[in-house]
Amino acid sequence: MVDASVALKWFFPEVHSDAAARLLDGPHDLVAPDLLGPEVGNVLWKRVRRGEITSAEAQQVWRAFAAIPIEIRPSRPLIDAAMEIGIREKRSVHDSLYLALALAETCRLVTADRKFYLAIAGGPLADSIVWVEDDT
């Protein structure tokens, strides 16, 4: 299971991009909440606004992202759990949706969001999250 911090590294050369890319090559089943698409789209929009990429490049990345076989799960059934996690762990509901899905699917969330990872890794949900460099 991946979040947007990992998915975006598939398309932009950044720190940890190689580790993120290995998730596409290995025996991993990729799962994410339906929030993933809007989050990726929003980051692409921000990059266009900042002049980092063109609109055409954003569309090209979006099409490539949409072609990746990620099993998308609806967020709505996860909102109660995500709010509970978010309140308890002092994290956004957006981030907590990924953890709620990891718990529901009995899998681990791979993230490249250092702040999020460190906030969760030392607590009761530590078994549900893994740093992108550690799992690939």
Q: What is the pLDDT along the chain (136 residues), one digit of tens a residue?
A: 999 999 999 999 999 999 999 999 877 789 999 999 999 999 999 999 999 999 999 999 999 999 999 999 999 999 999 999 999 999 999 999 999 999 999 999 999 999 999 999 989 999 999 999 995 4
> How many CA atoms, within 13 angstroms, populate the side-chain half-sphere of residue 20?
19
The CATH number of whichever domain residue 64 belongs to comes to 3.40.50.1010
Q: What is the domain count for the chain?
A: 1
Residue 62 confidence (pLDDT): 98
pTM score: 0.91
Residue 27 confidence (pLDDT): 79
* Structural domain that includes position 119: 4-135
Calculate the alpha carbon distances from 16 to 10, 53, 90, 93 in Å: 10, 20, 26, 25
Residue 136 confidence (pLDDT): 46
User: Would the CA dihedral through 52, 93, 108, 26 be positive or negative?
Assistant: negative
